Amino acid sequence: MNITHLECALCGARHEADKLQNLCAVCGKPLFARYDLERAAQTLTRESLPTRRPDMWRYREVLPVEDDANVTTLGEGWTPLTGAPRLGARLGLSNLLIKDESINPTGSFKARGLCMAVSMAKELGATKLAIPSAGNAAGALAAYAARAGLEAFIFMPRDTPRACIIECLYTGAHVELIDGLITDCGAEVARRKESEGWFDVSTLKEPYRVEGKKTLGYELAEQLAWTLPDVVIYPTGGGTGLIGMWKAFDEMQALGWIDGKRPRMVSVQAAGCAPMVRAFEAGERFATEFPDAATTASGLRVPKAIGDFLILDAVRESKGTALAVSDDEMISAAREIGASEGLFVAPEGAACWAALGKLVAAGAVRRDETIVLFNTGAGVKYLESFDN
């Protein structure tokens, strides 16, 4: 394909794309895949897209896998962007939309990133993959590793939603439950990966999960006829989806598909784990670890994210914001979304609706703007959250 190299997202150091890489060898920050977009544009055009396959691989020329034989797919991507008029009417909004990632394979947006990470790991010769996860990423890795014939070693907090644990066990992964948070699981992977021969596919600690997630941005633009929305509201744990969309917007502008207009990016976190909100409010570019992280939204329980500066840069450059909502507000919001639009959303997705109410009340969002909420997963995987 058209990938040319990997580039550090912080210091800009160049790395080769044809071997397994984790973080930048110079500064230890995430690596981004870079492409020959001029060459990609010879075959990848807006006009060509309607005839292409209805999944995220429709954007093949700006995805990193070289050999089609290594594409490991279960049909991920091209999820609905659905109008939510009854929900929007609650706040007097004229154009509210929900991007529903719950219908992806394994029930969440994590399918996009792990599909790509597994495909590239297979292409570059890895045989054993390891991940720390709060639930949905683990399920996605287990499924795609099984599909690719690779081994998956998964570390999850002991209180991870039970559905995610069972999902991993029944798709052939090696599962260890840890007393602690996702950061403790990550420390266990880091401690053992060399001796065990694992390739670490943690969030933004390899270059390709973000390439799968960036297809969210391509789809958003295509589904809105190449005019981006005014506001994107996104639940943020590790932040790869938000970071990926921001990368996609730049690529699409370079391809000549969109202009320089960007949505205001809103990062939503849980009140019990809000490192990005705290850093945003303090005017800091890097976020310190959030102490005693606790929230029922397991995907938001990420006290320290390696992509912190990328999240905060995108929010600030877009003139967006970061805010937190309580667990009670999430659960109430999930009920409102379900009763209004028939979508049983994950607590993380519900957090976006709870946040939108605060933004409208504060005058930070106009009622006539085009607003997209992201539901990142299926509510059915979080029954403990709703039972409690």
User: Is residue 99 one of the residues assigned to a domain?
Assistant: yes
pLDDT at 1 over 90: no
pLDDT for res 104: 98
pLDDT of residue 272: 98
CA dihedral 84, 90, 95, 101 (to 10 degrees): -40
Pairing of β 321-325 and β 81-83: unpaired
Position 334 scores a pLDDT of: 98
> In the predicted model, is pLDDT for residue 388 greater than 80?
no
What is the number of domains present in the chain? Answer: 1
Give the CATH number, domain containing residue 296.
3.40.50.1100
User: Read out DSSP for 60-89?
Assistant: GGGS----GGG---SS-----EEE-HHHHH
Tokens representing residue 341 in the block: 């639009």
Q: Does the pLDDT of residue 134 top 90, yes or no?
A: no
Q: Which domain holds residue 99?
A: 81-108+211-387
Residue 170 lies in a domain: no
Task: Give the tens place of pLDDT for each residue, 336-364.
Answer: 999 999 999 999 999 999 999 999 999 99
Residue 335 lies in a domain: yes
The percent of residues in the chain predicted with pLDDT above 70, rounded, is: 100
Does residue 333 carry a pLDDT above 90? yes
CA pair distance 30, 7, nearest whole angstrom: 8
pLDDT band of residue 387 (cuts 50, 70, 90) is confident
| Inside any domain, residue 33 | no
| 286 occurs within a structural domain | yes
Is 362 domain-assigned? yes
Judged against a pLDDT cut of 90, whether residue 232 lies above it is answered with yes
Q: Whole-angstrom Cα distance, residue 332 to residue 132? A: 29
Q: What is the pLDDT of residue 184?
A: 93
183 located within any domain: no
pLDDT (0 to 100) of residue 264: 98
Average pLDDT, the chain: 97
Q: Would you say residue 87 lies in a domain?
A: yes
Residue 327: the pLDDT is 98
